[in-house]
Chains A and B, each alone.
Chain A
């Protein structure tokens, strides 16, 4: 547990100094601005249709951008060096995943609430649960899975898988959200996404326990 906190602290310092955080913040602000500008005269029900998607899109975009640091560290031999220390692979994975997810979830929650407030959207219990629990859990599950994939794959494969994974997650999301056609955040949507995220996180966590370190070292070359 102590190692995880040390890692998270280090990740935060690095993230603040990293250009990708600035880029993510700029993209999010741009997205928010465009969204608010283009929807200012649209009927409320139409805006509400987008509300479930917005935090997920922002969270994933920021998370994908920040998780690039894992690929960089793998390529530069930092992961190999740190795996020679008393840190366990699971601690390394958790430290990375948590720090990236915390930053992404914070940016997402703030942006989503700004959009909701500026659109005079009155949040109910479901919306609050959705934005404060379901969305961060979804981000955590996706970043966790992405980290695992980055650990396993070679540099060239990672470039290809980035696009495939990004599209796949959006397709899954789209399918889940289409099950419930009500143009609002409902308990049904919330529970489906929460269950999907919890299952993904459990499977990823199990797989990390059975990951062969040799694979990580060899695919970094």
Chain B
């Protein structure tokens, strides 16, 4: 049986009497890329801070590699972090930043340190810029350097908080490839907080969705996407009048839909879409376009976050 490297059990956190985390529980297994999603203020960063030992839980457990990081400082040598802010020294060069952190993390051998720094700067594509002060780096370069810094001591787990936020599409792809490479080549476990659902869908094997301080969904990414077993189709009518008639019909048949102007997105669960489409054609409504849509993590996320009925979406591990 696989041993979880992160265990969160009945975690509750109150800050100034406000409930931030409400009894959350989940495990993360070794070599897994675990996505942690949720809207702003849901409690993602608070969970991360508790796991990193920067905050104490009000009640419950948050263990990393079997221990509490706030108490076991030496265990931090096995953990790497890329927080929302890069945490880099602007006045130091990329090389000096990595050299400083490697010494702090106890990479004491000079040759070993130099080799590691060179290897990581190569990995993140910054070796040619190693002598440039970090203050002159672009956002993308800083994020890449922050990832290199997180890996300087060969951590077993890397915690990443929005590693691609504020980056251009090309830089996002570079970082994504880097994260994927990390898990495959370095056997690292990655705890990824992200707002980029496409990124999470591509990278993460499992996902937890946090809403209002509670775990609203927790499952493998694939199962989560397919769990609602609902597909959608978007029908564009020639005019609004026809769209309204279709909406009335769908109301009568208790079929779920969203109306946007003269377009209707119909959500259906069985595969026989013709049962819905045929009556609309018979009614003489003028359809000018039909687009089919598979469920994506984006749709699942929106349904869960906007739905608010999170109890109905909890899936077993």
Bound pair (A, B): yes
- B117 shortest CB reach to chain A, Å: 15
Please report the total number of A residues contacting B with Cβ < 8 Å.
Answer: 23
In the assembled complex, B87 has its CB within 8 A of some CB on chain A: yes
On chain A, the residues within 8 Å of B91 by CB distance are 13-14, 17-18
Give the complex CA separation of A212 and B260 in angstroms.
51
> Which chain B residues numbered 42 to 76 have a C-beta less than 8 Å away from chain A?
49, 52-56, 70, 73-74, 76
> Which chain A residues numbered 52 to 88 have a C-beta less than 8 Å away from chain B?
76-78, 80-88
Contact of A78 among B74, B77, B89, B104 (CB under 8 A): B89
In the assembled complex, B85 has its CB within 8 A of some CB on chain A: yes
On chain A, the residues within 8 Å of B86 by CB distance are 76-77, 81
Give the complex CA separation of A183 and B55 in angstroms.
52
Using A86-B76, A217-B55 as known contacts, say yes or no to A81 and B104 having CB atoms under 8 A apart: no
Count A-B pairs with CB separation below 8 Å.
74
Residue of A nearest to B104 (CB): A85
Q: Would B100 and A85 count as touching, CB distance under 8 A?
A: no
- B222 shortest CB reach to chain A, Å: 32
1/0 per residue, CB under 8 A from B, across A195-207: the answer is: 0000000000000
Using A86-B104, A86-B105, A87-B104 as known contacts, say yes or no to A81 and B87 having CB atoms under 8 A apart: yes
- Can you list 17 A-B pairs, Cβ within 8 angstroms, ordered by A? A10-B89, A10-B96, A13-B92, A13-B96, A14-B89, A18-B91, A77-B83, A77-B84, A78-B85, A80-B85, A81-B85, A81-B87, A84-B53, A84-B54, A86-B74, A86-B104, A88-B73
| Residue among B83, B90, B104 with most chain A CB within 10 A | B104
Q: Would A84 and B104 count as touching, CB distance under 8 A?
A: no
Q: Would A84 and B76 count as touching, CB distance under 8 A?
A: yes
Residue of A nearest to B52 (CB): A84
- A209 shortest CB reach to chain B, Å: 14
In the assembled complex, B81 has its CB within 8 A of some CB on chain A: yes
In the assembled complex, A218 has its CB within 8 A of some CB on chain B: yes
Give the complex CA separation of A101 and B67 in angstroms.
37
The secondary-structure label for the interface of chain A is helix
| Residue among A3, A81, A214, A218 with most chain B CB within 10 A | A81
1/0 per residue, CB under 8 A from A, across B283-315: the answer is: 000000000000000000000000000000000
Give the complex CA separation of A14 and B101 in angstroms.
15
In the assembled complex, A164 has its CB within 8 A of some CB on chain B: no
Using A84-B79, A84-B81, A214-B55 as known contacts, say yes or no to A76 and B87 having CB atoms under 8 A apart: yes
On chain B, the residues within 8 Å of A87 by CB distance are 104
Q: Would B54 and A214 count as touching, CB distance under 8 A?
A: yes
Contact of B73 among A81, A86, A214 (CB under 8 A): A86
On chain B, the residues within 8 Å of A3 by CB distance are 104
Give the complex CA separation of A76 and B106 in angstroms.
24
In the assembled complex, A161 has its CB within 8 A of some CB on chain B: no
Give the complex CA separation of A17 and B79 in angstroms.
31
Give the complex CA separation of A10 and B90 in angstroms.
12
On chain A, the residues within 8 Å of B87 by CB distance are 76-78, 80-82
- B15 shortest CB reach to chain A, Å: 7
Contact of B15 among A10, A13, A218 (CB under 8 A): A218
- B108 shortest CB reach to chain A, Å: 9
In the assembled complex, A114 has its CB within 8 A of some CB on chain B: no
| Residue among A3, A10, A85 with most chain B CB within 10 A | A85
Residue of A nearest to B74 (CB): A86
In the assembled complex, A213 has its CB within 8 A of some CB on chain B: yes
Q: Would A82 and B79 count as touching, CB distance under 8 A?
A: no
Give the complex CA separation of A172 and B256 in angstroms.
73
In the assembled complex, A34 has its CB within 8 A of some CB on chain B: no
Residue of B nearest to A80 (CB): B83
Q: Would A10 and B92 count as touching, CB distance under 8 A?
A: yes
Give the complex CA separation of A14 and B70 in angstroms.
29
In the assembled complex, A6 has its CB within 8 A of some CB on chain B: yes
| Residue among A10, A17, A77, A82 with most chain B CB within 10 A | A10
